[in-house]
Amino acid sequence: MSLTELTISQVHEGLKKKEFSAVELCRNYLDNIKTRNKEVFSFLAIRESAALSEAEKTDDLISNGQETPILAGIPVAVKDNILVEGMKCTAASKMLENYVAPYDATVVSKLKKQGAVILGKTNLDEFAMGSSTENSYFGPTHNPHDLSYVPGGSSGGSAAAVAGGLSLYALGSDTGGSIRLPASFCGVVGLKPTYGAVSRYGLIAFASSLDQIGPITKTVEDAKIVFEAIAGRDSLDSTSIEPKIENWKLEIENLRIGVPKEYFVKGINPEVEKLVKGAILKYEKAGARVIEVSLPHTEYALPAYYIISPSEASANLARYDGIKYGFSQKEKSLLDVYLKSRGEGFGAEVRRRIMLGTYALSSGYYEAYYKRAQKVRTKVIEDFQSAFKKVDVIMTPTSPVLPFKIGEKIEDPLAMYLVDVYTVSINLAGLPALSIPCGQVGKLPVGLQIIGQPFEERKILAVAKFYDH
């Protein structure tokens, strides 16, 4: 097996047995980046010498006979909306093109404490707004399975890095599907944790009540390892909590799988439907019970998401005013500084969201849009609560469509928003969900989404592992 194919636990064992060194492993990935990043464009910034010296530290510990943590010496790619001290953190925006992070995000400091080797920062849709990674100021990322296709978004750089062998694993963020969708489009595993399971400190905010950081990995087991490394209460994020670590053992004959009827309707690609149903059948054949459930407010979740997330974004992005942070256009009047800096610093999709959100929150429209969307959010939460009275997990496709061509949807924001139809409800409800590959149509991967109750990451990981192996 080549070094690039190894999973986290295989690398951990290999390092321990001195079959290879962390420096060799790091060089292997840096070489892969050198040969492939030009065409895939996963990485916006590469951290060569710092990564190699981090790898050396692990090698030193091992040669001194010390035990090392599971992620020690293992290369990781970090989405460029998560702060790594001393590195630029651009959020793929002209606004933050030259912004250097003054501190580490909590997830990054947790990985560094284990001895992780940070390879660099990955491309995304500007401020994580998008489903294809085409909204990056620096240019689109390409799907490593076929370079003319999108990798999904917004964590497309992270997913493409893992799928293309440019990093062993990666961190992404998910506000409405941005970990799961690119994982699905790139044929890798992506876990969006329960809201509050992972600290958001040092994540550039998009929509604070929906954002979560999570792992993108080659296998379910790797996702579990990374999740456990980054999860937990952080005094720097008051919405984070210490989840109960309860290991959950899968007994397939006692597993009840919910399949929501609203997710298998007109508009779903028939080949996606076939592969996802085939995956669910695998569980059924092994003894699990498949139960049809109803999530009746599904059709309202997407419109509610596209009111709530731009509303929060319009508030979060108010800080980029040409004075406090980032890109600044020098003008005579203060108002002109604001207008020019924001008008030129933000791309078209970000400006669209700021306008949508500002409108939805403005007096006179607040009740009609924002407040109603919040009521829908409560209905969506209740839908899941009643479904979970009957089932242990819920399975759906991650996306109703196959990966699409670069350029195919970028001029049509509504078509792009519809790609998120199966992922946004999970963020509205704050639930954990993961996407695992369940087959391919030609070269194009398809993902199965497994949804659990709050803080039941271990359950959905155990259920996913059954399929993975």
What letters, b where the CB count within 10 A reaches 16 and e where it falls short, cover 296-335?
A: ebbebbbebbbbbbbbbbbbbbeebbbeeebbbeeeeeee
Residue with token string 């905010």: 205
From residue 288, alpha-carbon distances to 26, 92, 253, 388, 393 in Å are 42, 43, 5, 16, 11
Instruction: Find the catalytic residue in 21, 79, 155, 341.
Output: 79
Question: Smallest Cα–Cα separation from 398: which of 429, 346, 357, 434?
Answer: 434
Element (DSSP H or E) covering residue 450: strand 444-451
Question: Which one of 105-113, 168-176, 260-268, 328-336 is the stretch in contact with ligand GLN (CB under 6 A)?
Answer: 168-176
- Chain residues 410-429 in contact with ligand GLN, contact rule CB under 6 A: 420
Among 32, 58, 93, 154, binds ligand GLN (CB under 6 A): 154
Question: Smallest Cα–Cα separation from 276: which of 449, 142, 127?
Answer: 449
Instruction: Find the catalytic residue in 178, 184, 240, 425.
Output: 178
Annotated active-site residue 363? The verdict is no
Question: Which one of 30-38, 172-180, 259-267, 360-368 is the stretch in contact with ligand GLN (CB under 6 A)?
Answer: 172-180
Question: Which one of 169-177, 195-203, 291-299, 444-452 is the stretch in contact with ligand GLN (CB under 6 A)?
Answer: 169-177
List of residues 6+ apart from 467 with CB closer than 8 A: 220, 279, 282, 283, 436, 438, 448
Among 106, 122, 158, 175, binds ligand GLN (CB under 6 A): 175
CB of 410 to ligand GLN, least distance (A): 12
- If you write DSSP's letter for every residue of 296-317 in order, what string do you get? TTHHHHHHHHHHHHHHHHHHHG
Please identify the residue of the shown chain whose CB is closest to the bound ligand GLN: 178
Annotated active-site residue 79? The verdict is yes
Q: Does 133 engage in binding with ligand GLN (CB under 6 A)?
A: no
Q: Does 32 engage in binding with ligand GLN (CB under 6 A)?
A: no
Nearer to ligand GLN, 8 or 183 (CB): 183
Map residues 291-330 to x or -, x wherever contact with ligand GLN holds by CB under 6 A: ------------------x---------------------
Element (DSSP H or E) covering residue 190: strand 189-192
Annotated active-site residue 132? The verdict is no
CB of 130 to ligand GLN, least distance (A): 5
Positive/negative CA dihedral, 67, 87, 229, 233: positive
Question: Which one of 175-183, 270-278, 370-378, 406-414 is the stretch in contact with ligand GLN (CB under 6 A)?
Answer: 175-183
CB of 80 to ligand GLN, least distance (A): 13
Q: Does 130 engage in binding with ligand GLN (CB under 6 A)?
A: yes
Distance CA 277, CA 395 (A): 9
Catalytic machinery residues: 79, 154, 178
Interface residues with ligand GLN (CB under 6 A)?
128-131, 154, 174-178, 206, 309, 420
